[in-house]
A and B are shown apart, each in its own frame.
Chain A
């Protein structure tokens, strides 16, 4: 994974990060305009998209394991978000490979596109992966950080709808700081945009218009939309055949602190306590994607029967 932070297509590392941020902000516009900066959904290895053919997958992994771990990053990020800052060679995917024998698959996608659209694309991509995979697959686990958790829920929903073979292999899904109930920041942005547009002044209307140009992906975070953006009537059911685990953080070490109750992990409020819910006080939203304690919890849950 360390190479994933390196050059992609001969471009420097900052370019991949800048492109991902741009895609998060206006990715739907980039795709609509067929702009060369728009990211096409793919599994990435060493900063390049993997061709879904048995030969290329064998070249990437050698002898691949029978268990797959698919990791989905969040808004404005790319697969480099999984790398530990102090040890870029380590990530949840690589650690699960070394400890429990999972083949890690790092997804990169245009986070500015509608979440349901990305969910549908992932559903198709996972089917293509299984067809091209050089060997049998017994199990798939899904790990989604922030928006990635919504996308994987959407993919499962669409997979179930058309009875896709890959869905039956999903045993566990992990949601790290995923805004299932909607993200407070986007709710505030929506309110501010509405106010700015309502003020009868051309400058505030202009600022409101610019703010309103943020991507549909960002707007989908307001309600935690996962599927059926056009006729959304409620949250899609969780994939019944899999175990679901929610991991969240708070900005303060004391989860009862006012700041933690107001801002959650900085962007997303933690879910209500439950059997498969684990709260990590003092861990910010981005830290959830590369923290040893979080990995320890994921590993424990993966190892449990």
Chain B
């Protein structure tokens, strides 16, 4: 495999990684806004306002956690793919990387 081909594969890898990261971040923000809307309505009812806030906090933590896990998994997959591409590049150049 030619070095230029490896460079393009690495570019595709980085692009996918950046796209997943940016999309997860942005969609997470949107879901946060959407999630808070029904709680904001329910919190207007005084007798249930306090438990509603507690449930909302828990819900938002779960939402944030899910998106954080996706981004973490994406970064780890990116690192592993980057390592594999380094080895492939060594092979393509016919010499070990420094």
Contact = CB atoms under 8 A, between A and B. Distances in A.
Interface of A: 9-11, 15, 19, 22, 30, 33, 35-38, 202-203, 205-206, 209
Given A30-B15, A202-B30, A9 B2 contact: yes
Interface in B1-42: 1-2, 4-5, 7-12, 14-15, 18, 26-27, 29-30, 33-34
A203 B30 contact: yes
Nearest to A206: B30
Contact of A37 (B11, B29, B34): B11
B15 A202 contact: no
A107 to B, nearest CB: 19
Given A202-B33, A203-B30, A209-B26, A35 B5 contact: no
A36 B2 contact: no
B15 A37 contact: yes
Given A9-B5, A209-B26, A36 B10 contact: yes
The prevalent SS among residues of B at the interface is helix
Contacts of A38: 11
Interface of B: 1-2, 4-5, 7-12, 14-15, 18, 26-27, 29-30, 33-34
A35 B30 contact: no
Contacts of B10: 36
A15 B8 contact: yes
B30 A33 contact: no
A10 B2 contact: yes
A38 B14 CA distance: 12
A228 to B, nearest CB: 30
A202 B31 CA distance: 9
B32 to A, nearest CB: 9
A10 to B, nearest CB: 5
Query: Which 9 residue pairs of A and B lie closest in terms of their CB atoms, listed nearest first?
Result: A36-B11, A37-B11, A36-B7, A9-B4, A202-B30, A35-B11, A202-B33, A10-B2, A10-B5
